[in-house]
Structure 1
Amino acid sequence: MSGASLGSLSLDVPFFSKSTQCPFCSVQCKIRLERLEEKNERPEISARGENNAASEGRLCVKGQNAHQHALSRERLLHPMIRRDGKLVRATWEEALTAATGLLASSSEAYGPDSVGVYGGGSLSNESAYLLGKFARLALGTKYIDYNGRFCMSAAASAGSKTFGIDRGLTFRLSDIPRAECIVLAGTNVAECQPTLMPYFNRARENGACIIVIDPRATATAAASDLHLPIRPGTDAALASGMLNVLIEEGLIDEAFIAERTRGFDELKQRALRQMPLSETARICGVDEQAIRRAAILYGSARTGMIMTARGVEQQTDGHLAVREFLNLVLATGKIGREGCGYGAITGQGNGQGGREHGQKADQLPGYRSIENEADRAYVASVWKVDPDRIPRAGVSAYEMMEKIHRNEIRTLFVMGSNPIVSNPNVSLVEEALKKLNGLIVADMFLSETAVLADVVLPVTSYMENEGTLTNLEGRVLLREAARPAPGECRHDWAILCDAAARLGSGDLFSFDSAESIFDELRAASRGGRADYSGITYARLRREEGIYWPCGEQESGSGLMFEKTFGHVDGLAVFSSPEQEEADAKAVSADYPLLLTNGRVLAHYLTGVQTHRSPTLEAREVANFLELHPAAAKKMKIRDGDWVQVVSEAGEFYARGRVTDKIREDTVFAPMHWGGIQNVNRATLPDLDPNCKMPGFKTTPVRVLPYAGSGQR
């Protein structure tokens, strides 16, 4: 339980004692918020976990203090317009007239594709769905994507190619304790999804072996039985080497392979040409016997799971790296039964649902393809428009920034995201956004992106905005509102409806509630891979969460692929590209270290919300760079010194944190700070060719003592 005193918090709006849902990670824990008795005019809010099937009543420190940012005095409570170079208060009439004027004038002068839309993985399903519809029908642009591109795209594309369906976990969270071996690759659950750790603890109590693959000795690695401290960017090689061991040791499930997969013969032929395990160990920087042991532990277990997260996925070969891990799952037949499966541990609160219903560049609702004629025709029939009115596929989030920089996109509408901090190659992104003829941002705060906007629209927080979200295991949950909207804040979906009406498409956006939007989403998803048609608000309130796919005559099941996979032939597909030396981002004399980035417990994404929480901000007030003592000694850096981190793309500054819990050739910085502390000022713009994921985990850098740090 956590109490927050008034301080920088605003309680001007009536507050109800009611259940809501954490706005942060993909577990989507339930919260009971209560206003406690006021003492000395300093009211306090208590937040405690409420039982649900995912979190089982647990809350982490972020969930305990999530109300602090929602009640912050820094909340935007009225619209703003840029006048004479400054953002000033405006009425909604003025702001919406200005915003739609910018959008319309750009379309008229340069065509509808001169407008871009940039969404977020924390939007509710209803808002994500409506944002996609707004871009394609109200604006007529093909250029829409979202920050989830930087989160789940590698796992999503790999899952789609391998299984025919992309869903975060192919199993239920409650199945984890049934696994005899669990491989956690590039995921730090203990800090990023801490309320899930009891599932893994129960698995260990049942005798499970937990293997962690991570260049850092994280809190998750500390709880493991075997830690492989891999060199960043070599996950594909490691997984391929493990598969070769499985084949050598006869630990493959030949019956499962024959009955339920295709492509194994080609993969087996590749294995014969594969580099020896000793060479794989050299490339990965991991002991050869440790790789062999990990493979045998997983292969010989009766049940087992492999889970990946951003450490594997945020690479320029992230798609192929995930597919190599999926090869292990298929080769051992460890999927489609209790205690088995693959899981991509989603980062954002609605990272799963956010990519299913249309704010991704190439998708329509229900995980349909925007290039598939039948899919286009079906969604058009729900929307009551001609299929030709729906634009074709656009480009990925970072590629939109490049198009802005080239003046191909002239006006940008951002909802629920902070692209100036989250994109790679930040210098280009800053230049691009400053080139825009118009920038419209809908947010709760003046983020680093919003301060550059021509129009800023204040939106409601998780405490005020009802809607559904889909957690990491594919369970759709209903988040109720806990209080009325403060000030002049409006729901994001209501802003879209009003803007669409001003743009001449009001008849297609005549919604009066989140539930009415969800009902159309249900129809639009019917028959798609992510079918929500059998899910209703009434059922969600009664059943407290429903797994998709869930058609109208179905009851969703959390365990996927028991009998068939999502491809037309019902089979899963092995991947067998030739393995190259996994050193695409080679270090050099100028850039001798590999920079990898990630999350810390106290903060979320670019920190727009968590930096407004006094309790969370006090835990980590500045960015830091973890570096090994041997590396620090070479560079004459002491613990706590400010350092400069330089790559080919740019530089950022952080406090040095010397620790032996990281590889000597690797440095790590969190992703939660903007300005000169923004790690993405150094991140290179190279993208995975399959899914357009940037290589956040493998940037060659040099680290220097910062001359202005006041070192002794």
Structure 2
Amino acid sequence: MTNELLRYFRAKEKERASETAAATQCPFCSVQCTLQLVEERIVERRRYKAIPTDNPTSHGRLCVKGMHAHQHALHPERLLFPLAKVNGRFVRVSWDEALAMIAERIDSIQNEDGADAFAVYGGGSLTNEEAYLLGKFARVALGTRHIDYNGRFCMSAAAAAMNDAFGLDRGLTNPLSDIPLAGTIILAGTNVAECQPTLMPYFYEAKKNGAFMIVVDPRQTRTAEMADLHLRLKPGTDAALADGLAKVLLEEGYVDETFVRERTAGFAEWKQHIAAVDIDEVVRVTDVPAEKIRLAARKYGEAAEAIVLTARGLEQQADGYVAVRSWINVVLATGKIGRPGSGFGSITGQGNGQGGREHGQKADQLPGYRSIEHPEHRQHIASVWGVSPDELPRKGVSAYEMIKKIATGEITGLFVMGSNPVVSSPNAAFVAKALQKLKFLVVADLFLSETAELADLVLPVSSYLEDEGTVTNVEGRVCWRPAARKRPGEVKHDWEILCAIAHKLGKGQYFSFASAEDIFNELRLASRGGKADYYGVTYERLRRERVYWPCPDPSHPGTARLFAERFAHPDGRARFAVLPSGAEKEETDELYPLYLTTGRVLAHYLSGTQTRRSPALAARQLEAIMDIHPKTAKQYRIGPGMLVRIETRRGTAVVRSRYNDQIREDTIFVPFHWSGLQQINNVTADELDPYCRMPAFKRCAARVRPVVDLGRN
């Protein structure tokens, strides 16, 4: 082809090309990075690219998940119309048929088995508006006490601990901009480099400023690689380690006596408890050398300003609540909270894990972080909703406990929105069997997920690109997300589905919303005066800025740093806690000699329903990988890249091995983003933390062997 012809065709192609850009934000982790999604049309082809945009949290950064999130939203497997299961196969039905079926089955089940026999299971990725409405739907449209959400598996230990210690739970007590001001930073059970990578520059800046970084983790993660001190503890021993540091802080005079006297309660009892701690016993339990425990304590105690950040590594334990309270005790004893560069935080995992638990998805909570058992709280919410307080149900049970009630026949109907419990729950094989006992299961989702495959009815919902709303990010900033695209097919927003079902049930007068903003304005009223007060946050304001809560008035700037002058308990004091663990933990033995722990990888998110449908993300890690120390691997005749069978007291998973000489020799690690044979949550333990009902994902006893054992050479 001549140069003239090439130039001609390229000119024609340019004439037929067009480009549009729409503002949105990543749907995955709690950072909520913003971006422009650019759609380029050239003739009949369409290409998409994500361009990061500036915001006060991630400052124009975007990780690999955000770069490719649009791929799942545009995936050909998206559900586009309702599906009903007929003779074991899904068939297309109209929305009228679907809604009529739901209303008929809800009425039937509640008439036969009682109002509480129908349960609701929500998700931490729903917008604030949809999380709020789901709680109202359960309590007003259904009148059931049984509602909880997958955030129970994410933030419940830290949420309960912070509420009890501080009187308020917001993931971070400081703005992220405080991190570079800290002289010492402790990251306990958090792998920021893979879970919230766009936050890493805050830590790099802190290091540049001379900060001493301590990472507490059984394995050397990408985060631990930048640590000045890595405390590679035995899985599940975080509370003991924190008490060990506390012992050193007390003995060596790092207690802030003035802060303790003026701003805390319970110190004398806690001091007596810590005085009895034996460092040698802490070393035995945690397998962390005494000199490293002492160095960590001194570096934290000596720092003028210091920050402690936790996450799922220590929280997803049978004593996760105790572990978080133990680290909070350390913070309170040294007075390192409530000022620039000093504080405590639990790094939220899910996209709206913070907002999702503030406004009514948890079994015991009403909007604004109010208690469903508190008479004044019930009165306030009932007045906003236009019902009698006596009509509101009482508290229900946690997410996994709802599954147990399904297994015993106490719950016979379930509505799942924005979650995939068949993959994300502990002892997941039990969960799948339980769901099959239901008289009626309806799932609202983007895809035919592993949970949706078991449903009697599946409803198609809008993706993050199509669904306007707000989320609350890792800092406690409320963020507005515009709708960037039109909905495909017959897809509806989650909030539209809830309103439509409520109308079918004769409760339409309580669900007469025309937009997400309408719902948010009611949420503002419902939260007003509560601990999580959003009243001063409006859509008009959010279109200009991200606003920290609590924000009690439209003229209020929002609260970036908590507890500068007082804590949120009525007396203004924070609480020390004396909480010996006492939690039952699954121990290793001759039959199951290894500790299994689980977590995330950079390219995937939660149950993988979305990221496994992104070609670019799936290509980065196609399958689950088991990290194992080479010495341990050779002991069990496991070579690198070999298919391995992992067995626990609950079941089996098959994954591929990977040698890692930086993991403990008694520990194996597997990510939880896959299903089928690779589904590691089929084998994880289902003990529940007695304080917050968090399952013990991060530690169970396991054994490993090659799928094909070639024997010894």
Q: Same fold (TM over 0.5)?
A: yes
Post-superposition CA distance 1:592-629 (Å, at most 9, x none): 00100000000000000001100000011111111111
Q: Which residue of 2 aligns with 1:672?
A: 673
Q: Which residue of 1 aligns with 2:160?
A: 157
Post-superposition CA distance 1:185-212 (Å, at most 9, x none): 0000000000000000000111111100
For residue 210 of structure 2, what is the amino acid of its counterpart?
G
* Matching residue within 562, 565, 572 for 1:563: 565
Summarize the Cα distance change of 1:710–1:398 in structure 2 as closer, same or farther, 3 Å threshold.
Answer: farther
1 CA distance for matches of 2:275 and 2:611? 50
| 2:47 maps to 1:64 | no
Q: Is the 8 A contact 1:644 1:704 kept in 2?
A: yes
2 CA distance for matches of 1:166 and 1:202? 27
Q: Which residue of 2 aligns with 1:623?
A: 624
For residue 348 of structure 1, what is the amino acid of its counterpart?
Q
Post-superposition CA distance 1:545-602 (Å, at most 9, x none): 000000025221210000010101000000112366x983221001100100000000
For residue 596 of structure 1, what is the amino acid of its counterpart?
T
1 CA distance for matches of 2:376 and 2:627? 51
2 CA distance for matches of 1:571 and 1:585? 36
Deviation at 1:15, TM superposition (A): 9.1
Q: Which residue of 2 aligns with 1:23?
A: 27
Summarize the Cα distance change of 1:126–1:15 in structure 2 as closer, same or farther, 3 Å threshold.
Answer: farther
Q: Which residue of 2 aligns with 1:3?
A: none
1 CA distance for matches of 2:567 and 2:209? 30
1 CA distance for matches of 2:588 and 2:320? 19
Q: Which residue of 2 aligns with 1:380?
A: 382
Deviation at 1:707, TM superposition (A): 2.8
For residue 34 of structure 1, what is the amino acid of its counterpart?
V
1 CA distance for matches of 2:74 and 2:710? 35
1 CA distance for matches of 2:37 and 2:463? 14
| 2:127 maps to 1:121 | no
Q: Which residue of 2 aligns with 1:49?
A: 52
Q: Is the 8 A contact 1:16 1:483 kept in 2?
A: no
| 2:551 maps to 1:535 | no
Q: Which residue of 1 aligns with 2:703?
A: 702
2 CA distance for matches of 1:76 and 1:18? 23
1 CA distance for matches of 2:530 and 2:269? 31
2 CA distance for matches of 1:122 and 1:578? 34
| 2:309 maps to 1:307 | yes
| 2:400 maps to 1:391 | no
Q: Which residue of 1 aligns with 2:406?
A: 404
2 CA distance for matches of 1:573 and 1:171? 19
Q: Which residue of 1 aligns with 2:263?
A: 260
Q: Is the 8 A contact 1:221 1:227 kept in 2?
A: yes
Partner SS state of residue 327, structure 2: helix
* Matching residue within 136, 141, 149 for 1:138: 141
Q: Which residue of 2 aligns with 1:681?
A: 682
Q: Which residue of 1 aligns with 2:635?
A: 634
Residues 328-339 of structure 1: matches in 2 within 5 Å? 328-339=330-341
Deviation at 1:709, TM superposition (A): 10
Q: Which residue of 2 aligns with 1:232?
A: 235
Q: Is the 8 A contact 1:180 1:209 kept in 2?
A: yes
* Matching residue within 318, 322, 343 for 2:320: 318
| 2:37 maps to 1:33 | yes
Q: Which residue of 2 aligns with 1:7?
A: none
* Matching residue within 430, 433, 447 for 1:431: 433
- Structure 1 gaps, min length 5: 1-13
Summarize the Cα distance change of 1:402–1:539 in structure 2 as closer, same or farther, 3 Å threshold.
Answer: same
Cα root mean square deviation, aligned? 1.4
Partner SS state of residue 471, structure 2: strand
Q: Is the 8 A contact 2:20 2:40 kept in 1?
A: no
Summarize the Cα distance change of 1:15–1:37 in structure 2 as closer, same or farther, 3 Å threshold.
Answer: closer
Q: Is the 8 A contact 1:641 1:709 kept in 2?
A: no
Q: Is the 8 A contact 2:603 2:618 kept in 1?
A: yes
Summarize the Cα distance change of 1:464–1:288 in structure 2 as closer, same or farther, 3 Å threshold.
Answer: same
Q: Is the 8 A contact 2:499 2:508 kept in 1?
A: yes
Give % identity.
Answer: 57
Partner SS state of residue 198, structure 1: helix
Summarize the Cα distance change of 1:81–1:710 in structure 2 as closer, same or farther, 3 Å threshold.
Answer: farther
Residues 373-522 of structure 1: matches in 2 within 5 Å? 373-522=375-524
Q: Is the 8 A contact 2:595 2:668 kept in 1?
A: yes
Q: Which residue of 1 aligns with 2:5?
A: none
Q: Is the 8 A contact 1:128 1:358 kept in 2?
A: yes
Partner SS state of residue 444, structure 2: strand
Deviation at 1:84, TM superposition (A): 1.5
Q: Which residue of 2 aligns with 1:217?
A: 220
Post-superposition CA distance 1:238-283 (Å, at most 9, x none): 00000000011101111000000011100111122112x1221121
Post-superposition CA distance 1:140-194 (Å, at most 9, x none): 1000000000000000000000000000000001111111110000000000000
Q: Is the 8 A contact 2:82 2:460 kept in 1?
A: yes
Number of residue pairs aligned between Structure 1 and Structure 2: 695
Q: Which residue of 2 aligns with 1:251?
A: 254
Deviation at 1:658, TM superposition (A): 1.4
* Matching residue within 109, 112, 121 for 2:115: 112
| Regions of 4+ moved over 4 Å | 708-712
Deviation at 1:708, TM superposition (A): 8.5
For residue 367 of structure 1, what is the amino acid of its counterpart?
Y
For residue 545 of structure 1, what is the amino acid of its counterpart?
R
Post-superposition CA distance 1:457-507 (Å, at most 9, x none): 000000000000000110000000101111111000000000000001000
For residue 39 of structure 2, what is the amino acid of its counterpart?
R
Q: Is the 8 A contact 1:475 1:547 kept in 2?
A: yes
Deviation at 1:685, TM superposition (A): 1.3
2 CA distance for matches of 1:23 and 1:654? 28
Summarize the Cα distance change of 1:186–1:612 in structure 2 as closer, same or farther, 3 Å threshold.
Answer: same
Q: Is the 8 A contact 2:672 2:681 kept in 1?
A: yes
For residue 686 of structure 1, what is the amino acid of its counterpart?
E
- Structure 2 gaps, min length 5: 1-17
2 CA distance for matches of 1:235 and 1:66? 34
| 2:618 maps to 1:614 | no
2 CA distance for matches of 1:583 and 1:116? 29
1 CA distance for matches of 2:19 and 2:203? 36
Deviation at 1:710, TM superposition (A): 12
2 CA distance for matches of 1:116 and 1:481? 30
Partner SS state of residue 324, structure 2: helix
| 2:286 maps to 1:279 | no
Partner SS state of residue 436, structure 2: helix
Post-superposition CA distance 1:621-650 (Å, at most 9, x none): 111111111110110000111111111111
Q: Is the 8 A contact 2:637 2:712 kept in 1?
A: no
